[in-house]
Amino acid sequence: MAKPKIDRRTLLKNSLSVFKSKGYTATSMSDLANASGLLKGSMYHYIDSKEQLMLEVLNSLMDHYINKVFITAYDEELSPYDRLFLLSKKAEEIYIYEDAGNFFANIGLETKNLNLGFEKVIQEFFEKWIATVEYIYTYVVSEEDAHVKAESVVAQIEGAVLLMKVMDDAGHLRRVLAGILVEYKELEKENSVK
């Protein structure tokens, strides 16, 4: 029994899925091991501790967002609106279909006062996300307004996702995403007029 039962990526994916469902504290090493068909003890071949595993999960998830999602914002072959549109589609997928809730937000809230060292990655994720949205808004408003706008967009989505999770109703998130797109179109018009 020498060959790895599982590759690191799969391990991280499985762990993410357990953490998503039960949060950090309520997830036990047993849960994580089970999710990957390993024994508790075998987990420690792959990781140093539960804490470090979560950190790696957060980091790899952030990489995914940066390289697969946020990158859309910088695709100069597309119009700014189309980029925002694609981002919103991806957001819908992520939040509604992948049930990713918002993992970063959830874990951030749960572990804020637990001194587990996740804060840095989580803040970074939000900074990156805001920067992404901000970039698209620089096409239609001033740099300064773009930042405020981006923060507002991110907050609105987060709020909508939260409401969706807690109220078990995805309608609101869809409306929020639609609203953001409509408003962007208007900003584009105002901008072109000037």
Partner DNA sequence: AATGAATGAGAATTCATTCAT
Partner DNA sequence: AATGAATGAATTCTCATTCAT
Residues of the shown chain interacting with a copy of itself in the complex, contacts defined by CB under 8 A:
21-23, 25-26, 101, 104-106, 108-114, 119, 122-123, 126-127, 148, 151-152, 154-160, 162-163, 165-168, 172, 175-176, 179
DSSP states along 65-117: IIIIIGGGGG-TTS-HHHHHHHHHHHHHIIIIIS--TTHHHHHHHHHTTS--S
Q: Quick one: angle between helices 103-111 and 143-167, nearest 10?
A: 80
Closest CB to DNA among residues 52, 123: 52
Binding of DNA by 57 (CB under 7 A) = no
Q: Please state, in angstroms and as integers, the Cα–Cα distance from residue 123 to each residue in 21, 148, 152, following that order.
A: 21, 17, 16
Q: Identify which range of 21-29, 62-70, 175-183, 185-193 contacts DNA by CB under 7 A.
A: 21-29
Distance CA 121, CA 24 (A): 15
Binding of DNA by 147 (CB under 7 A) = no
Tell me the one-letter amino acid at 100.
Answer: A
Closest CB to a copy of itself among residues 10, 152: 152
The DSSP element (H or E) to which 148 belongs, if any, is helix 143-167
Closest CB to DNA among residues 48, 183: 48
Kindly state the smallest distance separating residue 43's Cβ from a copy of itself, in Å. 16
Neighbours of 88 (CB within 10 A): 19
Which of 17, 23, 34, 51 is in the footprint of DNA by CB under 7 A?
51
Q: Which does 167 bind (CB under 5 to 8 A by kind): a copy of itself, DNA, none?
A: a copy of itself
Q: Which does 158 bind (CB under 5 to 8 A by kind): DNA, a copy of itself, none?
A: a copy of itself
Kindly state the smallest distance separating residue 22's Cβ from a copy of itself, in Å. 6
Neighbours of 3 (CB within 10 A): 4
Q: Which does 38 bind (CB under 5 to 8 A by kind): DNA, a copy of itself, none?
A: DNA
Q: Which does 78 bind (CB under 5 to 8 A by kind): DNA, a copy of itself, none?
A: none
CA-closest candidate to residue 80, choices 131, 136, 134, 130: 136
Binding of DNA by 21 (CB under 7 A) = no
